[in-house]
Each structure stands twice: as structure tokens, then as C-alpha cells.
Copies of this chain bind each other. A is one copy, B any other.
Amino acid sequence: MADPSCPVCATADIICGKWTILVIRDLAEGRSRFCELERSLEGISPRTLSLRLRALEEQGIVERHTYPEVPPRVEYSLTPKGEALVPLIEDMRSYGRQWLGVDDGACATAAEPAEPVAA
């Protein structure tokens, strides 16, 4: 993107595409099928989901598992290189909770923020 020798840029290149981080977030909860991802990521077009999964697979971040069954089944999961992105997603989750006033009601919040939400 800017300087390819910058670690932040290199990582940004991977996750900057629309929906990419959310695909990884979903797969962090366990392997999933194409249509499950499509349903979870409400609003994504199948074309974009397909492009994202292919790109992530090429980058060694997700793995594709095919099952030759009656309706053919395909599942996706994170590789270790993909799992390593989970802390990043957790940071995003806590940022959203502390500063954007958004909470899906999962875990409890850790500490009082300096100037939450209102800022």
C-alpha cells in the first residue's frame, strides 16, 4: 500500500478489504461453511465472500476443506497464521465497547475508560 517494508502497512494490506476482518472474526469461532458465513455476514455479496476466502486462502490465513457429499460441502477454518490475527480482533471488540458505545452483550467490560462513548 504505502511502504511494503512497514509491518503495519503489510498487515493493513491483508485486512483492509471490506468484510475481511469480519470473515476472520467468524472463522475464529470455529470452522464454517460458505452459506453460514453468508448468513452471518448479513449484506455481503457471494462474489465478495468468494473473493475474500480465495485471497485469504492464498495468503495462508484460511484453509479450505471439501467434502464430496450429496450436496457438496465446503468448510473453511483459520490456519495458525490466521489465528494470530485474533488478538487484533479482540482489540477491535474492546475498542468498540469502550469508545463506540456498542456491546453485543458477551463478556463483561474490564475497567472504566477515561472518557467513554460521549467523546
Contacts and interface: CB of A to CB of B under 8 A. Distances in A.
Given A44-B2, A80-B114, A96 B22 contact: no
A27 B84 CA distance: 26
Interface string A33-67: 00000001111100000000000000010000000
B119 A3 contact: no
Interface residues of A, number: 51
A81 B95 CA distance: 9
A69 interface: no
A91 to B, nearest CB: 5
Contacts of A93: 7-8, 11
A11 B80 CA distance: 24
A1 B25 contact: no
13 contacts: A2-B43, A3-B104, A4-B102, A7-B93, A7-B103, A8-B93, A10-B96, A11-B93, A11-B100, A12-B21, A16-B16, A80-B115, A88-B91
Interface of A: 1-12, 14-16, 18-19, 21-22, 25, 40-44, 60, 79-81, 84-85, 87-89, 91-100, 102-104, 113-115, 119
